Structure 1
């Protein structure tokens, strides 16, 4: 009798789990919206004061911070001791509180989670570049699920204002001839697009841009890109160009992202509806939709369970830009299981999935920009012992 009851309990638990997964798949966005969107009206004062970007404490990654998470590297790689390039990196959303629209720069939880993202994302630049990543009063995660676009817009404007102030401090701290890379992810990429349009395009800074890396936020080829002053990257050694992608496993549902994408005008003023969503394949950076086999993947960065580091796994997955603008990675990789968003969206892993290829890409473009080989501080691919 006890054995039969035990089996019934197990069966019920399995049914509940299956029902939960089906519910998440069908109603994931509605569930997330109810749990994450702030219930109060936007008030700037709740975000606290902005960071002081004249001091290292105003930055998560800074040359004078000894605890800079972007100096970490997985086994087989190392950071450059005297990098020739400077990177301005805008962090993704790491504030998930629904009690306020923007996260205070002193929020310990936001900064701890932000450092984890930086370690797994921006560390790929440290082979040739010094990373600067500002702490800013980022819009909370629920901002991007909100139906009240006015409230969400005010939260994003506040966050962007901090990014602009930090960018001005970053530029002022660099020698006038130092090459720069501009990068971000998710909310960071959204702010980066606006920054490119308003503060970089048409200015002398354009001549110093090695490349722009902005995955995790959709960009229209026709309605957004012309306003940024940079073309999309289509060859391996091209400089002064931009890359963007959004990673999905199969079966994928990009519908909610496309609906948001189509609902507004682009940065050029032209409607995005019906336009092409830019997709760069990080495995080869070529134009077109040819699938790139996993044999060309130099290594994915598989995060540790606590996201404080990770290990490189070479040849883990291939990728293909699809007609709808998403980057398909095929069947969901077993090594990446946490934080998968509805629709099989591997948003959190846009950088880690292609970490080694992107690192090689950065080093190659930096060398091409300089017109001569910059001494690499790490191999362009995992060391031989990592490929065994």
Structure 2
């Protein structure tokens, strides 16, 4: 019976699939970045170079099971979101490419679509047209290797695609509309650079509704005039969080998390106090279903700490690092916050 209960809880919080499970394999690429061919450069004039576009049917159009989720409103949404997915390329390379994934890898694309696009990008379809480029993401090894030169080259290559996709988006899709930037994990590294290159002390800053920079350490020193938003309705800034079990400090805490500036995505302030469960609007978990009032969280010491989720068998939950569920845990709160900030920007 204990094993069955644990399995149910494990499945509930592993819905993001590859974001966590595969990364724990810790496959490490040992060859130099310059060895071997590079994947083909994506062509963003082609639909297949996008994981999500508002003009095609894709996983970003989905809605979880709930009576309280507003519909997919991309057809008439007043704003755009440019979403950058996290590291899904974690497995042992199965082709000639090592440090960076090919955007033509159909097996990997399916993993991206069924994990990150389904569980994260869908958050935004109630208030935004969703644009999510496929890019030659860097292998998970960039976060493990001591070969910092190869890691930087792989991340630079990945960012070059993200930048190219954003330039194409601006030229062909945006039409002077408000913009949200959203990302997770590796995607957030690229989103930070995107904000620096296109928004920070740039005219485009006036079009920035909010940046959701999730799953990586972020602080105000990374920007000149883009700051942490500490009120739920604020626009023009960024919000960020990294989720861990209450009181837990990861081994890599001193690598940047200790300097993180963050908000609690249940109340959108940085108060160091646990929220009431009644304020939690809903986690998206098992079978893509919304479960409300099961999470309590607080922002403390650069981390977002959560109590054990209020689910059956919670005593058997041993998870300390909730990185894989940074969006899922607060899915409905994020969705409602997106709507609020877009509304405030428009008004």
**TM-score scaled to structure 2, two decimals?**
0.85
Contact 1:46 1:102 in 2 (8 A): no
Structure number with greater CO (CA < 8 Å, separation at least 6) is 2
In 2, distance between residues paired with 1:123 and 1:45?
36
1:204 positional shift: 1.5
Please give the residue correspondences for 1:23-102 in structure 2 after superposition, counting only pairs within 5 Å. Answer: 35-43=26-34, 46-66=37-57, 68-75=58-65, 76=67, 77=69, 78-80=71-73, 81-99=75-93, 100-102=98-100
Contact 1:120 1:303 in 2 (8 A): no
**Alignment partner for residue 322 of structure 2, among 346, 353, 364?**
346
SS of residue matched to 1:235? coil
SS of residue matched to 2:82? strand
Matched, 1:321 2:289: no
Structure 1, 72-81 or 205-214: larger mean CA deviation: 72-81
Unaligned runs of 5+ in 2: 1-22
In 2, distance between residues paired with 1:239 and 1:197?
17
- Which residue number corresponds to residue 20 of structure 1? none
**Alignment partner for residue 249 of structure 2, among 238, 243, 253?**
253
Matched, 1:290 2:281: no
1:161 positional shift: 0.5
In 1, distance between residues paired with 2:165 and 2:154?
17
1:234 positional shift: 0.9
1:175 positional shift: 4.5
SS of residue matched to 1:177? coil
In 1, distance between residues paired with 2:32 and 2:331?
39
Q: Count the aligned residue pairs.
A: 316
Q: Per-residue displacement from partner, 1:28-84 (whole Å, max 9, x unpaired)?
A: xxxx79841102211375331111101111100012322x11110112332013211
Contact 1:139 1:156 in 2 (8 A): yes
**Alignment partner for residue 277 of structure 1, among 256, 260, 271?**
260
1:174 positional shift: 3.2
**TM-score scaled to structure 1, two decimals?**
0.76
Question: Using a 3 Å threshold, how does the CA distance of structure 1 residues 259 and 344 change in structure 2: closer, same or farther?
Answer: same
In 2, distance between residues paired with 1:119 and 1:283?
21
1:332 positional shift: 5.5
Please give the residue correspondences for 1:33-182 in structure 2 after superposition, counting only pairs within 5 Å. Answer: 35-43=26-34, 46-66=37-57, 68-75=58-65, 76=67, 77=69, 78-80=71-73, 81-99=75-93, 100-116=98-114, 117-182=116-181
In 1, distance between residues paired with 2:35 and 2:168?
22
Question: Using a 3 Å threshold, how does the CA distance of structure 1 residues 213 and 54 change in structure 2: closer, same or farther?
Answer: same
